[in-house]
A = this chain, B = another copy of it.
Amino acid sequence: MDSQPLSTLREDDLVQRLTRNLPVGHRVIAGAGDDCAAVRVPGRKEWQLLKTDCLVEDVHFRREHRPEQVGWKALCRAISDIGACGGKPDAALVTVAAPGGLPVAYLEGIYRGLNRAARRFGVSLVGGETARSPGALFLSVALTGWVKPARFVRRNGGRAGDALFVTGRLGGSFGADGGGRHLSFIPRVAEGRWLAKNFAIHAMMDLSDGLGADLPRLADASRRGYAIDLATLPRHRGCTVAQAVGDGEDYELLFAIAAADADTLSAAWRKKFPRLALTRIGTLTAKRGDRTPLAPGYTHFAATDGDA
């Protein structure tokens, strides 16, 4: 038996090994490898989006973090993925595996945060499960959503010459104490849906592992290279370029659009979302191997997680 440990594998390679040959029906539009799965539902014009995402104690949060923020983050990570596909979130199930010594009040706080996120983004919390954990607290969210087929944006449609944009600012999502924006971010659902509705977005994803890990994923899916002007990266106050590229957990949108549409988009964006930056950071290039070197970001299984 192959005893190679997980920690020796790049996470994306692991996912690829695990998900080849999965049984998928003919109604499955997008499966493993995109932000969300998309499934055709007989009788419905819209496709259903399906997403699952988990938070693990001491990996994605720590016990000293406010439970309301942990709950918020747990649901908003999945909401962010639905938004990055151009979709609208719908119904969520929550699984909690908790050690018996956890204060009930902490779990109630997590549910308050889940509630707040659900109300803010129009999600129904329709159930879930509690289980016992021998150690770490584990939260898993399953979320459905809907998208019109013409507005479903994947990672794989980027074309040579496309302009690359990111919303908001990058870097520094973890404060000195491990708290910070990664616990309170606003998923870009309104922005993702507006983009998908009003522009021909060729490829899009949310930045969860950092531009340095996520841009190569979008480029790989689209079989392109990229040229990034690192000096133009929109950074949070006090962040270096390396932090903007490598910190991760920005939950901003990264997308590709025809260069000819870039100026129209920028002008329309400023009117629609005057308080959120939109920055053109570079270009998709024809040759897949032709890539601006980026700090590696969180690509290793031992340090991160990813979509299977």
**Nearest residue, chain B, Cβ from A7:** B100
Binds B, one of A52-60, A244-252, A276-284, A289-297: A52-60
Whether B5 lies near A125 (C-beta < 8 A) is no
Whether B101 lies near A5 (C-beta < 8 A) is yes
Whether A124 lies near B39 (C-beta < 8 A) is yes
Query: Does chain B have a CB within 8 A of A228?
Result: no
Partner of A5, one of B93, B103, B135: B103
A301 to B127, CA, bound (A): 17
CB-CB < 8 A to A39: which residues of B?
90-91, 124, 126, 144
Tell me what chain A mostly uses at the interface: helix, strand, loop, or mixed. Answer: mixed
- Total residues of chain A contacting the partner, CB 8 A: 93
**Nearest residue, chain B, Cβ from A34:** B127
Would you give the 0/1 interface string for A29-55, flagging 1 where the beta carbon is closer than 8 Å to chain B?
011111011010111110010111110
Whether B133 lies near A93 (C-beta < 8 A) is no
Query: Does chain B have a CB within 8 A of A107?
Result: yes
Whether B50 lies near A127 (C-beta < 8 A) is yes
Query: Does chain B have a CB within 8 A of A229?
Result: no
A34 to B128, CA, bound (A): 10
CB-CB < 8 A to A25: which residues of B?
91, 122, 124
**Nearest residue, chain B, Cβ from A142:** B142
Would you give the 0/1 interface string for A105-127, flagging 1 where the beta carbon is closer than 8 Å to chain B?
10110010001001100111111
A126 to B37, CA, bound (A): 6
CB-CB < 8 A to A96: which residues of B?
308
Would you give the 0/1 interface string for A127-164, flagging 1 where the beta carbon is closer than 8 Å to chain B?
11111111110101010100000000000000000000
**Nearest residue, chain B, Cβ from A120:** B23
Given A3-B105, A101-B6, the answer on whether A95 and B134 have CB atoms closer than 8 Å is no
A128 to B129, CA, bound (A): 18
How far does the Cβ of A41 sit from chain B's closest Cβ, in whole Å?
A: 7
**Nearest residue, chain B, Cβ from A39:** B91
A95 to B115, CA, bound (A): 22
CB-CB < 8 A to A1: which residues of B?
103, 105
Q: Which 9 A-B pairs have the closest CB atoms?
A: A142-B142, A7-B100, A131-B305, A37-B126, A2-B105, A140-B140, A52-B93, A135-B135, A22-B125
Subset of 5 A-B contacts with CB under 8 Å = A5-B103, A7-B100, A19-B127, A52-B128, A56-B133
